[in-house]
Chain A
């Protein structure tokens, strides 16, 4: 909750951070520590004691401002519109375009393809991190049948073989060798405000310097309205659930899990050229005949396996659990535990909370108000929902978040459902895990039904080698 007279500002982490910090300083709104990428999530503003800054992932800022948790915020316009096209409440007000973070989102596909041809030929599969903007565009283009593959990140990794198109920034499309099929959205970073705060509270101490930040070029910002496509009538044939192919397709992760996966593969005597501890290309090469490899986000692997796009994927058991909570009938199973990258996933609360168990914590929060809503913030929204049901939280609300999670408690949520390897980050933020939900390691996953013929043999062989290495028998 805001202190009396306090002005709360939500600023982005990530790509905007360094440039924004420079401009804030120049505008007389210095936020010491913000631009240096400090692991802290809360900052003060030089010479402005009433103003508090909290750092969020860009995607989380519009909803925080719309809910009134923060009075003002700065984030990419695409994230603001992703909220407003689906939930057109007027509480989040875009105020001013800034001269940083200019981006054009495009629908990108294989070179030589066109949106009309793809939509005419069959069900259009679109990978996207921004499903609301994507579905708005596709509805307005009158695409008769489409499937949105809602990915956590790196949508550009999906086309052309795993999706027909992806919603990505134009420069990412080009760097991935994809062609632009249509422009979906334009915009830079924007200052936005909460309507109620703007109309009823004195925010001038923060608003005046933020409004003085250099303005964008004035080009129209927002979602594009495409021309309706003239397409043949009729439903499209759904994509095959288990496509035929000759090669065994293997997905390996980038990011945090990459180092552990390279080690697990090496222990099993497997090496993919171009997939090393400190570097990865999109398509590493396998020395094993009949095996093709692709690098993608581990979060998105269970879905890719369920869709039949990959025969084997190396991901985390936490992501498999998240996926199973969303789609319990999905045909994806764990094939073997790689026993690496171990960490605990559980309910995190402030260190100072006078409770030793989640039951005591619930009783404490509801000691005066029995009907109080308990808020659980998590990147693992489906697991948070499951957790709330399993622990009989009663009236609860899941707040899906995109990151910078340790900053959510205690102000913006009672519980954070979060993973921790060593507990260092939690301790640094004066948090502790009060209830462990699962112990996660990385694992190999596959379709419940093994692929036919040689592909099936190859999958069994790889899984056997990985399992042997993991159990130390090799």
Chain B
């Protein structure tokens, strides 16, 4: 509907009227880098509590889409909304504090700090320098950190520096950091890259468990993993949406087979 309206040149409808349950609303988003269209008129709606998988060949614009949502990249055109907030006008820190957490493709955390300290920094709490100076870890916060460590299986490594964790453990720690932020929307970029089959399975179960209370968008190459998520799938190609539906639906879509799966 929104796409037709856009084509007709109508103003964008306020989010509330257009899609009642939408948490994230992208409409006609384009990003142009030096003439290269990384995103091309992309529209996407993620509803409250939804788990959504996004797949697509390399260069399809998956990471650029994440960058646009988290304020790292400004779109050349289009609407990006999180509830009633216009994300194209906000910076990374503000967007993160609105309740959008992001896990990066390459796990990034603070190597000089311990697992516990990494989670403590991610814990939802006042973020200003003076609040941080006065910060005292109370029992509730400690329990939150401990239960998250248990959830991602890092309890035994609580006081090890993040820099010495294995690749899989780093992925886990980063998911743990996301959970500490208690976000309403989680953007998870390639969570199972480099994981063993068992770890992959465990991750899928964890993400399914997390969704429901919050919305989760997962970008992934691994189709087995996407199937294990059992969620709606969006296929991106050359910066636009190619197909959307269940995993079986998109796997049988001739356009998808041509550009992605059939190769």
A and B bind: no
* A residues neighboring B (CB under 8 Å): none
